[in-house]
Amino acid sequence: MTEAPPPKEPNRVIASLARDQVNLDLKTVDLCFLAGLYLRADKAALASFEEDVLIDMFEQICDVVEPGADNPRKRATHAIQRLREQRMLARVDGAGIVRTGDYALTTLAAAVIKYFLTDEALTRESLTLLTATLSAQLAEVLAAAKRSEDTDSWRSKVSGPLRVTVSELVSGIERRQRGLDAQQEEVQGEIAKLLQSDWFSAVDRCQLLLDTTTSTLNELNEILLRDTHHFVALLLEIQGLATEAENSEAEETVQRVIEHVDRIAAWGSARQQAWSEYYQYIHRYLRDVVRLDPDRALSQRLRDQAAAWPTFKFFLLVADASPIRLLRALEARVERPPVARPHTEREADPEWVEPENVHADIEALVTRAIDEGASTLAEVSTRVLPNMPESLHYVAVGRVADAVARLAQVHGEHERAWAPVLSRIEVEDWTVERKDVQ
């Protein structure tokens, strides 16, 4: 038995889909080709198709969809490649380039084609059958939950069936609900078309369509309301047992199924509400517009009226009572002081400060260092800098070099070596001689 897969976070799933740049681009001929393969596999119980069969099928489809198209064989090759890239067809043999391959429809292709081929709208019969099966299945799971004593049996007898069988059945109902949604949309389109083409003579047919759909929805909703209530009761009982057994995995699985069932029940009431609004609107339209204007003359007369606007003007009158005027409470006007800062003498008197002779002293210090026998720039700098504050050392070292160059004879190698001065400075060194020595 394997561990239940952790629930996927929507953000992660979406991010990974975006990262993989998934997309589907299926043309009519592609869908027809896939449908042809699907039906053939179904009829002949085929698990896979040889490449020649694929090409034959594509050519047949091409004859129907795009008769007269050039070079169908080449188009088949492109179509197969396109469908493989989109994970609709998978090569299932391992022969590589040794021989032509065998191909099978993927689950993605099967799902897409099923959507177009199967008529899975919810009907009273299908819903009753599904809910009865689901009810029996849940009763079995409940009985198993009562018997389960260890983690393994909870997993195999409760969580597993809930995750697979029950979820499949609930998804089956949901899928058929979507089918019924599509049917309703078709009915709405059909009513509009009927009135567009037949106007007054279409009233009875429209009424029939409305009534049939309404009664179908009512029946389905009744079944859903009754049965979902029963399902939730059973599921809550299973969840209670899981809580007692401290089996969090089963608890979470039951919770997910309960949410799924709630969604199904919510669908019923939401659709009934929406349909009720639509029904009322159409009913009023049939009564107030179509029946009162059996020749459909009003639209034309209204169009003529609007088209003649500059010469046939009129203006509807409507009530327009002015709103009650609320007077504001009396309040003294507040004088806001102008933005200002206090007057003060901002010109400060000059002060006596100590003279700054540091830089002026450099020449004297350099002369003394040279006189005392310093023979390199680094040596002169090392003697001069300690007489100054540390914050000025970096600036002063340049002035020392300048003074040395002016006051003494200096020599530099082509590749001048770096020599340390105190702890934090290095200079490119010169040799220094007193000028009077020469």
Partner 1 sequence: MSRTSFHTLEEALDDEHYPEVDLALRRGRHIGRDDGTMYEYLVDAQALLEEFYRRFGCELIQQSDGYFYLLPSGDRLGRRQLSAGEMLVGQMLALLYLDPASLQQGGTVSREAPLERLSALLSTDTLVRTIAPRNVRKGKYDERIAAEAVRTKVGDALRRLADLGFVDLLDDTRLRLRPALMRFAEPVRGLGEPGAALERLVRVGEVALDEGEPASEEDSNLDEEPTP
Q: Smallest gap, in angstroms, from Cβ of residue 215 to partner 1?
A: 19
Spatial CA neighbour of 65 closest among 34, 29, 36: 29
Rounded to whole angstroms, the Cα distance separating 332 from 249 reads: 70
Structure tokens at 265: 């029940």
Q: Which is nearer to partner 1, 317 or 329 (CB)?
A: 317
Yes or no: say if 32 and 68 are a contact pair by the CB < 8 Å rule. Answer: no
Backbone angles phi, psi at 242, to 5 degrees: -65, -40
Is the Cβ of residue 23 or residue 196 nearer to partner 1 in the bound state? Answer: 196
Q: What is the DSSP letter of 77?
A: H
- What CA–CA distances, in Å, run from 424 to 253, 389, 393, 409? 71, 14, 9, 26
Q: Which is nearer to partner 1, 303 or 435 (CB)?
A: 303
Distance CA 283, CA 184 (A): 16
Q: Which amino acid is at 349?
A: D
Please identify, using beta-carbon distances, which residue of 311 and 438 lies nearer to partner 1: 311
Q: Which residues contact 229 (CB under 8 A, 6 or more apart)?
A: 265
Choose between 28 and 212: whose C-beta lies nearer to partner 1: 212
Gap between the Cα atoms of 409 and 291, Å rounded = 121
- Which tokens belong to 19? 């990262």
Q: Phi and psi dihedrals of 261, rounded to 5?
A: -65, -40
φ, ψ for residue 89 (rounded to 5)? -120, 140
Displacement of CA 284 from its chain's centroid (Å): 42
Strand partners, 55: none
Q: Which is nearer to partner 1, 204 or 288 (CB)?
A: 288
Please, which residue, 193 or 226, has the CB nearer to partner 1?
193
Taking a C-beta distance cutoff of 8 angstroms, is the pair 163, 238 a contact?
no
CB of 278 to partner 1, least distance (A): 5
Neighbours of 125 (CB within 10 A): 8
Query: 3-state DSSP call for residue 382?
Result: helix
117 vs 308 by CB, closer to partner 1: 308
The single-letter DSSP state of residue 154 is I
Rounded to the nearest whole angstrom, what is the least distance from the CB of residue 238 to partner 1 in the complex?
Answer: 41
User: What is the nearest approach in angstroms of partner 1 to the Cβ of residue 203?
Assistant: 11
Residues at the site binding partner 1, with contacts judged by CB under 8 A: 188-189, 191-192, 195-196, 199, 277-278, 280-282, 284-285, 288-289, 297-299, 301-307, 309-310, 312-323
> At closest approach, how far in Å is the CB of 200 from partner 1?
11
Nearest approach, Cβ of residue 13 and partner 1 (Å): 29
How far apart are the C-alpha atoms of 139 and 364, rounded to whole Å?
108
> CB of 80: closest distance to partner 1 in angstroms?
40
Least spacing, CB of residue 184 vs partner 1, in Å: 11
- Nearer CB in complex with partner 1: 124/303: 303
Distance in angstroms (rounded) separating the CA atoms of residues 362 and 339: 53
Tokens for 117, please give them: 């081929």
- Please say which residue, 167 or 188, places its beta carbon nearer to partner 1: 188
Q: How far is the CB of 28 from partner 1 (least distance, A)?
A: 25
| Cα 172 → chain centroid | 26
17 vs 302 by CB, closer to partner 1: 302
Alpha carbons 348 and 246: distance in angstroms, whole number: 82
Supply the minimum distance, in Å, between the C-beta of residue 182 and partner 1. 14
Contact (CB, 8 A) for 289 and 234: no
Beta bridge partners of 425: 421
Of the candidates 367, 356, 357, the one whose C-alpha atom is nearest the C-alpha of residue 403 is 367
Tell me the closest approach of the beta carbon of residue 295 to partner 1, in angstroms: 10
The nearer residue to partner 1, 42 or 288, going by C-beta atoms, is 288
Q: How far is the CB of 327 from partner 1 (least distance, A)?
A: 19
